Amino acid sequence: MNTEFKSFAAMMTALPTDAACREYLEMKRWNGVPVCPHCGVADANHYKLNVKGEFKGMYKCKACKERFTVTLGTMFEGSPISLRKWFIATYIFSAHKKGISSHQLARDLDVTQKTAWFMLHRLRLAFSDTDNSLLGGEGVIVEADTTLVGGKAKNMHTKKRMDTFNPKRGGSGLGNKTVVAAYVERSGRVRMDVVEKHEVETVQLKENVDTASVLMTDSANNYKKVGKEFAFHGVVDHEKEEYVRGHIHTNTVEGVFSLFDRMVMGIYHFVSPKHMQAYCNESAFRYNSRKVTDKMRFDMALVKTGGVKLEYNTLIAK
Ligand SMILES: [Zn+2]
């Protein structure tokens, strides 16, 4: 099996059947030695069970006697969609820098739009960063900003934006708009976090960014107090048409938001507040893995376990 394919076409040739995809997944996940997900025992001699005279990936654990397949715990678990269609979807999702709509994926895979929509939600979980460590640190510059997503308010001036979602300043609520905060290490990692109505952005800032960092923000009032807790707080005053003063600017985080806008507006058109965090995670993952090849991103997502087996009922619940 050629496992070093570097393009979508090469993957289609290297993995022509569901069985080939399964073997590839077994190799990536187990490195040739099946690991029982029930008891954790790795054994090259776990029993292989045939279904209708053919081995289709069902193992029986030698230790605990439970049955398992390689898809258990991955985003493919329990899905009626063939593994090869999943692989195609995963590669496409990995390669399209701005994401892909459920309508387009449905056409590409020859599945219903509803199925494609569901697959994309699982893919989005598999393409999320699981690193929750603080960003920044001593001597590291971190830019922070918020934006409103949905509706025309995304183009609003910062102060207006703040007023819109600050009830103390007369903000009347958000409608279907969502406040998204982004924290970016210059030339490093980004994290995007939805600011829920009951949450406070400055608290979230400290939950995500090490206060030993050098913080850069615009002149929004809510950063003034918290800024004093950081090693240094650089402020650019957009209201005075000031955008760059030496090292003091927020151009990196503006760039992150502009990529995010292009993804949400250009590909998905509308994202409901309920699913916004998943799209934030997707956008952050794409940014953070920007120096990684499509194939590496593909491999990373395939073997991702833990919370990626999203149930349809969970997804559509109010
Ligand atoms: Zn076992």
pLDDT in tens, 133-154: 999 999 999 999 998 887 544 4
Q: What is the pLDDT of residue 151?
A: 54
**pLDDT band at residue 161 using 50, 70 and 90 as cut-offs:** low
Distance 74 CA to ligand 1 centre (A): 17
Q: What is the pLDDT of residue 170?
A: 47
Q: pLDDT digits over 252-264, tens only?
A: 999 999 988 888 8
Radius of gyration of the chain (CA): 23
Distance 22 CA to ligand 1 centre (A): 20
Distance 65 CA to ligand 1 centre (A): 6
- In the predicted model, is pLDDT for residue 312 greater than 70? no
- In the predicted model, is pLDDT for residue 233 greater than 80? yes
Distance 31 CA to ligand 1 centre (A): 17
Distance 66 CA to ligand 1 centre (A): 6
Distance 63 CA to ligand 1 centre (A): 5
Distance 38 CA to ligand 1 centre (A): 5
- Kindly state the tokens that stand for 61: 């654990």
**pLDDT band at residue 129 using 50, 70 and 90 as cut-offs:** confident
204: Cβ contacts below 8 Å, ≥ 6 apart: 181, 193, 195
User: Are 29 and 60 contacting, i.e. CB atoms less than 8 angstroms apart?
Assistant: no
Distance 61 CA to ligand 1 centre (A): 5
**pLDDT band at residue 68 using 50, 70 and 90 as cut-offs:** very high
Q: pLDDT digits over 95-117, tens only?
A: 888 889 999 999 999 999 999 99
Distance 60 CA to ligand 1 centre (A): 8
Mean pLDDT score, 273-282:
87
Distance 1 CA to ligand 1 centre (A): 28
Q: What is the pLDDT of residue 176?
A: 66
Mean per-residue pLDDT of the chain: 86
The residue that leads in pLDDT, 278 or 89, is 89
Distance 80 CA to ligand 1 centre (A): 25
What residues does 50 pair with on adjacent strands? 55
Give the C-alpha separation, 205 to 42, whole Å: 42
The residue that leads in pLDDT, 150 or 120, is 120
- DSSP string computed for the chain: ------SHHHHHHH--SHHHHHHHHHHHHHTTS-B-TTT--B-TTPEEEEETTEEEEEEE-TTT--EE-TTTTSTTTT-SS-HHHHHHHHHHHHH-TT---HHHHHHHHTS-HHHHHHHHHHHHHHTS----SPB--TT-EEEEEEEEESSGGGGS-HHHHHHHH-GGGT----TT-EEEEEEEETTS-EEEEEE-TT--HHHHHHHHB-TTSEEEEES-THHHHHHTTSSEEEEE-GGGT--EETTEE-HHHHHHHHHHHHHIIIIIS---GGGHHHHHHHHHHHHHTTTS-HHHHHHHHHT--SS----HHHHH--
Strands 67-68, 190-195: pairing is unpaired
Distance 90 CA to ligand 1 centre (A): 29
- Lowest-confidence range among 30-44, 72-86, 168-182, 210-224? 168-182
Mean pLDDT score, 308-312:
66
**pLDDT band at residue 302 using 50, 70 and 90 as cut-offs:** very high
Distance 35 CA to ligand 1 centre (A): 8
Distance 313 CA to ligand 1 centre (A): 29
